[in-house]
Structures are given as C-alpha cells and as structure tokens.
Amino acid sequence: MPTDLALGIHDLSFSTTSLALSHDELSRHNGTDLAKYHRGIGQRAMSVPTADEDIVTMAAAAAAPIVRRHGADRIRTLVLATETSVDQSKAAGIYVHKLLGLHPHVRVVEVKQACYGATAGLQFATALVHRDPDQQVLVIASDVSRYDLDSPGEATQGAAATALLVSADPALVELDRPSGLFTTDVMDFWRPNYRSTALVNGKESVAAYLEAVEGAWRDYSAQGGLPLEEFRAFCYHQPYTRMAFKAHRQLLETCGVPADEAAVERALAATTAYNETVGNSYTASLYLALAALLESEHDLTGQALGLFSYGSGSVAEFFAGRVRPGYQEHLRRDAHREAVDRRRAIDYGTYRELHERTLPTDGGRHDLPHQTQGPFRLAGVRDHQRVYEAA
C-alpha cells in the first residue's frame, strides 16, 4: 500500500431545511433579551424542518450535487453519521443510497457518537481510500437538533446535512496523519431511546467540552502534530457559535499563549457564517464551519487548518488539514448561500406546531403534505415503513 498518498476532502456540499425561525421571533415569544442570543451565544436563526423533511431528505440533498459533479462509479462506501436516526436497525444511508440512484456495489453504514460521528466516518473513509486509492467514500452528516420547548437549549436548535467526498489527491483539503484523541464518560448531553428531545446539563457540557479540547490537543502534540503557530485558522464543533471562541481560548491557555481577543477573532470569525443562522446541526456542525471558512474571502492556499470535533458523552478529536492549491475552483459558495437564503421565515406558532408534531405509530397509511423546497421528501408512513421520493 502507498505510504505518501495525499488523502482528504475532495468535495464538500451541504443542505438545510425549507423553514427558519429567527431569534428575533423567539425573543418576542419568550421575552429574552435579544442580545443574549446574538452576542451571548452567537445565534441569529435556526433551521426548522417541514413535515416532509428529515435527516434522510437533507442527506440526499447534500450529497446529490457531489454525485452529479463526480459520478458514482468510484463510490464504494457511504457512511452516514447522525444522532437523530430514523430507525433503530436500518441505516438511514440506505434510503439515501436509493434516492441518489447509486449502484448496488456499495457498503452503507450508520455511525453514532453524538456530534463526533462524522469525524469518525471521515477517518474510516481515509483508511479505506488508503487501502484502495481508486475508491472514493461518501461521508454524510445529517441531524435535526431538538430540545424541549421553553428550555435553555431551545435557542440552539437547528438542522443541516453536510456531504464530504473523500478521495486520494483531494481538491479541497489534505488531511494530516496525526490525530489527538480524548474520551471520558460524562453525562453532559444525552437522549434516551424513549425521548424525542435531548437532555442537557449546560454547565457540565461546557466544562466537558473544554476538558476535551485540552485533552485532545495534548494527545495531538504527543503524537507529533503541528505546533500551534503553524495553524492559519481553526474550525470547532459549534453547538452555538460562541462556544468555539471559548474553546479556542482554552486551547491558547493550554499552550501557554495569551488569549488575545483580536487573535481569537481572526482565527475563528470566518467559520461561523453558516452555523449562526442554521443553528446546531450536531454531526454536520464542524463541517459547516469548514465550508464557511473555505468560502470566505481569505486565500488559504497551502495553509494549515486545525479541526476540533466533539461529541458529548464524550469523544473528541483534534486533527489538521492543509488547503490544496486551486481549492477555490471547487467550492459551492453560491449554492450554499442560496440554500440558507431561500428558507421561508415562520412565526413562533408555526414553529411550535411543527416541533410538537410526531409521526403516527399505528402502522396505517399516513401521507404527508408536500411542503419542502428541496429535491427529496418524506412522502409518508405506511405499515410502519417510511416512504421517500423525489420531490
């Protein structure tokens, strides 16, 4: 097997839902000072799914442009990472496989570890491509974050999917080999099988995240990773965008570097453009940050980027990527901005109705209204089976 093979992200595409609830509207409902949302947690809006949108429809919508651009002949594996799966047994990626019209000679699996799952899928993918450089792997992260109404977590909700095409000789970002890892058993965020909304210990969650930043970085350094000063920018998992700034200050403190606010802003500001208006997309969040950074006005050619992935419970990884020459020719800036801008604004009453809605469980035939603006939809549930179709 080759030893000096460039591996990484060849293409990146994302999708979100058709609806959005602004934090202006949320604050009018609950009386919260808008500054707490805009400046305190760094959020301005959240994506909200229509009745016929879910993780499968978003995943297929995110991946379809990649398949159109590159074809599917070399895709031999599809990994779908999610913590809001639609089935306890069947991988959601199999529905996506059908919607995309992929050939049958593909392995399809689902990966779960809170918000970290997509990074696990990315690392699995690079190993597969290293073994057979002619292969490509489609890694999709798709999630809808939901918390109880009127709970502290409500303002951080969101929904999105990112699709990464992993290959040899990548066009966007080449991944470096060392990774820093950190795992500890902590109950900072979890969702039992009998609940549709997550449970969060807010203070514990922040503390666990920051502990993981330090632990993963120390392991990364021990594995021979790049020194802090070689990184041009950093992408963090963003449960809310200001969490990334807390995380970077923790990293600087761990490295014994003063946390100069201007320097922190320069390192992170370009990564928040999508997450601040889409909301927390769990597994997709880190890669929305990467998309925003690559699509910023900065020329990042040849620059090293630090990426920190965190999944509550908890598992974390710090790794590095280097931006490839010519990467700007392969970006999807216009399509991504259009996906965010086309969402229809809704009022709190509409949002609340959608939030409280659940699919029937009686095994009968239940057709869903056609509401999505996307290319795929959940048409209904029949005999306990989800039925998906092109919209």
8 A C-beta contact, residue 145 and residue 200:
no
Catalytic residue, from 10, 23, 97, 115: name it. Answer: 115
Altogether, the residues listed in the chain come to a count of 391
8 A C-beta contact, residue 286 and residue 268:
no
As given in the structure block, the two tokens for residue 288 are 């929305």
Amino acid letter for position 20: A
Residue 182 bridge partners (DSSP): 316
In the sheet with 385-390, reading across from the earlier edge strand, the strands are: 366-367, 376-382, 385-390
- What's the chain's Rg over C-alpha atoms? 20
How far, in Å, CA of 17 to CA of 27, rounded? 21
Phi, psi of 202 (to 5 degrees): -55, -50
User: Integer distance in angstroms from the first to the last C-alpha of the chain?
Assistant: 43
SS3 category, 115: strand
What DSSP assignment string belongs to 160-206?
Answer: EEEEEEEEES-SSEEEEEEEEEEE----SEE--TT-SS-EE-HHHHH
Q: Note if 237 is an active site residue.
A: yes
8 A C-beta contact, residue 302 and residue 168:
no
How far, in Å, CA of 131 to CA of 166, rounded? 13
SS3 category, 14: strand
Residue 115 bridge partners (DSSP): 113
Q: Note if 355 is an active site residue.
A: no
Angle between helices 23-30 and 348-356 (to 10 degrees): 90
Catalytic residue, from 23, 237, 336, 355: name it. Answer: 237
How far, in Å, CA of 94 to CA of 102, rounded? 10
Catalytic residue, from 10, 53, 83, 154: name it. Answer: 83
How far, in Å, CA of 94 to CA of 161, rounded? 16
How far, in Å, CA of 305 to CA of 376, rounded? 34
Supply the residues annotated as catalytic: 83, 115, 237
